[in-house]
Structure 1
Amino acid sequence: MSNNPQIEDNDGNDDLYEHYRFIADKGQNPLRVDKFLMNRVENVTRNKIQKAAKDGNIHVNEAVVKQNYKVKPGDVVQVLFEHPPYEYLLVPEDIPLDIIYEDDALLVVNKPAGMVVHPGHGNYSGTLINALTFHFDNLPNNSSNRPGLVHRIDKDTSGLLVVAKTEEAMAHLSKQFFNKTSEREYIALVWGNVEDDEGTIEGNIGRHPKNRLQNTVFDEEEEERGKHAVTHYKVLERLGYVTLVSCRLETGRTHQIRVHMKHIGHTLFNDERYGGDRILKGTHFSKYKQFVDNCFKVLPRQALHARTLGFEHPETGKKMSFECPVPDDIEACLDKWRNYSKHVID
């Protein structure tokens, strides 16, 4: 994705804005640019991509291309339009924030499930950034022009985020996340009985070649694809057909825990995007199906919560550590499984 620079077009007019930018992987097989973009831009139709090509809005290596151009390794593919991306037209909104901690340099918020962190395609309002820009003036932009945002979590993941209030805090905190010195622990309920009490999952994560809404782990033969990712997990509670685990991130890739846990055969409970919203373990009895459906109703999202967050304060150098309780929806689901595993499963 782009940082939204304004691009000078071929006539010398500064009236094109970069909406998307992708660099083709080293292992990219020749692929039509319209299909290449279909695999990478969420919620877009082929008609829209074809119209963009017809209007001269698709560029490869800074040159206008037609929709049948074959993308090659290392190509820089851009989609340019005459209007800024809607996600950069930020409208402050009076949305309450659950602030765990605040000082002059930063704040830590507990994001509820269902709230998108920053505006993007299909979500231009109601986001955490819409709320932040209402409650705080002059938040510093990160490298992607997102005010205050140091890191992010998925829409349906709840939990802790640190927000920078000054340029210095943004630089310092961003460096900690980049250097992997920050500490992040998540609580996840996953399908199946995780065999080892603890372990480490390591594997490059990148966009799924066939399902553009998912990411996936690439095997050793495809090392040039995706980005290095490491997740450490520890079993907290075994509940028969599901397991409660603690996951600590060494890297911060999109959907990292969701992708890594599925990779080892333990998809997150009720994770619709990765197939966890159906029965993956258990019996065929209708009563069991009804029980699982009831669990899905009390927890209508993936069972993932960013419970703890630790970092060095950008001004004082003091070690800061925060924790927020598991939210009610996950706790209600866990109580159901505890009761079920105690009375039904041997």
Structure 2
Amino acid sequence: MNTSIPQIESDPNTVIVSGGVRVPVVACGPGWLVADKPCGMSIHNDPGRDLCSVVLVAVRAGCLPAVGLDLPAIHAAHRIDRDTSGIVLLAGDPKTLAFFGEQFAAKAVHKRYLALVHGGLTGPSEDSDWAPWNWPLTAAAAGRNDPMGKGKRMPCATRWRTLAHSLHYSLIECEPLTGRKHQIRRHAKLAGHPVVGDRRYGSTRSLAYLSRHCDFNRLGLHAHALTIRLPGEAKTTTFQSGGLPEAMRQLLETDR
């Protein structure tokens, strides 16, 4: 287990640096923190290296005094996949965790993702006009040959809009309106435009090409915004990441 004290960068934003991995801190307050999780880092279940572990060590070392010092643990208020980068909300005490959990249960939290998908996906581009994906999905994860999943399928909704195109790819913004496992990735696959770099739902041929010819070795999915109400606040706050991850941006810009 890695228990070394993380370093802190703070120009212009606070960044936790642990084991060579940089975790930007988007915002923090008493008992909570919003991190911009890098691709490939687990949120939990990887002691000493996962997001919750790294943040807890930094908090207890006094690197993030606004969060508090005497916290029993750090818990994620929600989850994103290991291979997905982006915004994650963390809580440092049971009361704060429950406060956020109630909002997620009431579907009062809004999450937006940036997805780089295969092909020329055309659709609405304005924030006031979104297109729907409504395929029903099983609660459990599925695979490339049957992305809807086997067994009981439940209603499922994702809305999306187009932001940019390159020769072979499209950048879209997605908002999942329900919470099925791998929802955006499965809906993109069902639409015929799988997420770039998706080892579970994409093709092995495209994965090999991206790695060999484009040096692209990540999932093209990034959680870029989260809107939620903070403790003691009457209105919601929107937290955003620092922008499109470099690997995704570079692939989009060089694919001409």
Give the alignment's TM-score, normalised by structure 2.
0.76
**How far apart are the structure 1 equivalents of 2:48 and 2:145?**
23
Contact in 2 for aligned 1:111/1:160 (Cα 8 Å): yes
Distance in 2 separating the partners of 1:139 and 1:252: 29
What does 1:184-203 correspond to in 2, within 5 Å? 184-197=111-124, 198-202=130-134, 203=136
Tell me the distance in 2 between the aligned counterparts of 1:182 and 1:214: 32
Tell me the secondary structure at the aligned position of residue 188 of structure 1: strand
Supply the AA of the counterpart residue of 1:322: F
Match of 2:185 among 258, 279, 283: 258
1:192-271 maps to which residues of 2 (within 5 A)?
A: 192-197=119-124, 198-202=130-134, 203-207=136-140, 216-218=147-149, 225-271=152-198
Decide which structure has the larger Cα Rg and report it: 1
Q: Which runs of 4+ in 1 moved over 6 A?
A: 289-292
Task: Report deviation, 1:279.
Answer: 3.3
Q: Aligned letter for 1:331?
A: R
Corresponding residue for residue 158 of structure 1: 85
Q: Distance in 2 between matches of 1:93 and 1:319?
A: 36
1:196 aligned counterpart, secondary structure: coil
Write the distance in 1 (CA, Å) between the matches of 2:235 and 2:122.
38
| Contact kept? 2:140, 2:181, Cα under 8 Å | no
Of 25, 40, 55 in structure 2, the residue corresponding to residue 132 of structure 1 is 55
Q: 1:11 is matched with which residue?
A: none
Equivalent-residue separation in structure 2 for 1:106 and 1:177 (angstroms): 15
CA distance in 1 between partners of 2:47 and 2:157 (Å): 32
Correspondence for 1:334: 252
Greater RCO between the two (CA within 8 Å, min separation 6)?
2
Q: Which residue of 2 aligns with 1:315?
A: 232
Give the match's secondary structure for 1:116.
coil
How far apart, in 1, do the equivalents of 2:76 and 2:100 lie?
Answer: 10
Q: Contact 2:132–2:158 (CA<8 Å) still a contact in 1?
A: yes
CA shift for structure 1 position 175 = 1.3
Superposition map of 1:39-58 within 5 A: none
Question: Could you tell me how far apart the structure 2 residues matched to 1:228 and 1:93 are?
Answer: 45
Cα distance, 1:109–1:215 mapped onto 2, change above 3 Å? farther
CA distance in 2, matches of 1:313, 1:244: 30
Is 1:104 the equivalent of 2:30? yes
Q: Give the whole-Å Cα distance in 1 for the aligned partners of 2:140 and 2:105.
A: 21
1: CA distance between counterparts of 2:71 and 2:201? 35
Aligned to 2:222: 305
Counterpart Cα distance in 2 of 1:208 and 1:114? 18
Q: TM-score, length-normalised on structure 1?
A: 0.58
**Counterpart residue number, 2:65:** none
Confirm whether residue 174 of structure 1 aligns to residue 101 of structure 2: yes
Alpha-carbon deviations, 1:36-93, whole Å to 9, x = none?
xxxxxxxxxxxxxxxxxxxxxxxxxxxxxxxxxxxxxxxxxxxxxxxxxxxxxx9756
Gaps of 5+ in 1: 1-89, 142-146, 281-288, 341-346
SS in 2 for 1:261: helix
Q: Give the superposition deviation at 1:226.
A: 4.3
Q: Deviations over 1:123-171 (max 9, x none)?
A: 4541112213312356567xxxxx4211111112111111112322211
Supply the AA of the counterpart residue of 1:174.
G
* In 2, Cα distance between equivalents of 1:206 and 1:248: 18
Task: Give the counterpart letter for 2:179 in structure 1.
Answer: G
Displacement of 1:98 after TM fit?
Answer: 1.7
